[in-house]
Copies of this chain bind each other. A is one copy, B any other.
């Protein structure tokens, strides 16, 4: 094993300090839906994540000035719609245009879910209905921590065994990734399994 000292040297030589840039990658690209003045609207968002499974929590960060934000604040609800690669032109377009000036609902058919104010985009294979739990304001940012109250998946991507649903692998869902190099990316190969890929190493350490 390399000595700590050597590593410190190696780091100082090899790392470039680039300033406070949140280069956490990859960024998942989703469409956040809300009812704004009674009309569904969708914003392209990368500032979002799962925060936990039980309870089922997500976070979405929106700019206060965005059209969608007004709907989320008014209704306390939104949807997260996971698009596929084939929707990329529309998804990017929804990041360029504002719902203030364009009727996005005319381009992306949606249906109401169980939760008022969370329109579900039909063409996205996965839709989450989310109820706002808290709002944190940081400058122009409105950060919504929300409970997922219901999830819908295109039946082509679900199999059910013993009443337990399984969702298809990412290699079939084809979600869109993004990074701060301004590039969109697809998903590559499956490379491992949770709590399996490191099991041999963990066993060796536990026995050491």
Contacts and interface: CB of A to CB of B under 8 A. Distances in A.
Nearest to A157: B16
A136 B136 contact: yes
A150 B117 CA distance: 38
A74 interface: no
Contacts of A165: 16, 18-19
A65 interface: no
A133 interface: yes
A175 B196 CA distance: 18
Interface string A37-70: 0000000001111111101111101000000000
**Most-contacted residue by chain B among A145, A147, A155 (CB, 10 A):** A145
Interface in A62-102: 80, 82, 85, 88-97, 102
B183 A177 contact: no
Copies per assembly: 2
Interface in A179-208: 179-202, 205-206
A156 B136 CA distance: 37
A181 B169 contact: yes
Interface string A129-155: 000011010110101010111111111
Contact of A47 (B21, B49, B175): B49
Interface of A: 1-2, 4, 7-8, 10-12, 14-28, 30, 46-53, 55-59, 61, 80, 82, 85, 88-97, 102, 106-107, 109-111, 120, 122, 126-128, 133-134, 136, 138-139, 141, 143, 145, 147-156, 158, 160, 165-171, 173, 175-202, 205-206
17 contacts: A11-B111, A15-B120, A20-B149, A22-B52, A22-B53, A23-B126, A24-B28, A51-B138, A51-B141, A55-B138, A55-B141, A92-B195, A93-B202, A167-B179, A168-B181, A176-B191, A185-B187
